[in-house]
Amino acid sequence: MITPNEIKETLSKALPVSVIETQDLTGGGDHWQVIIVSPAFEGKGLVEQHRMVNEALKAEIGDQRIHALALRTFTPAQWEKLGS
């Protein structure tokens, strides 16, 4: 189990993040969907972007505090376009 704040804190330490939205998919605190918007994703493919996030949360995934992680990653420009 992990809290949204712990996810946000870990990610913010690893990456420059402008938006993080977390959703507990089952209510059990270990299946998460996380939306991350970061300028560090600029010029990178989705595989690389997801690798960066998985790497940042490696410890939490490794000890099963996070059992399943569905990711959506965006650059700030993509995120802005999505909102408009």
- The residues, any chain, with a CB within 8 Å of residue 1's CB and separated by 6 or more, are 28, 29, 30, 65
* Window of 5-13, 15-23, 36-44, 50-58 that interacts with another protein by CB under 8 A: 50-58
72 near another protein, judged by CB under 8 A: yes
- Give the Cα separation of 52 and 82 in Å (integer): 22
Nearer to another protein, 5 or 45 (CB): 45
Radius of gyration of the chain (CA): 12
Selected binder of another protein within 19, 25, 59, 70 (CB under 8 A): 70
Residues that bind another protein (CB under 8 A): 46-47, 50-51, 54, 70-72
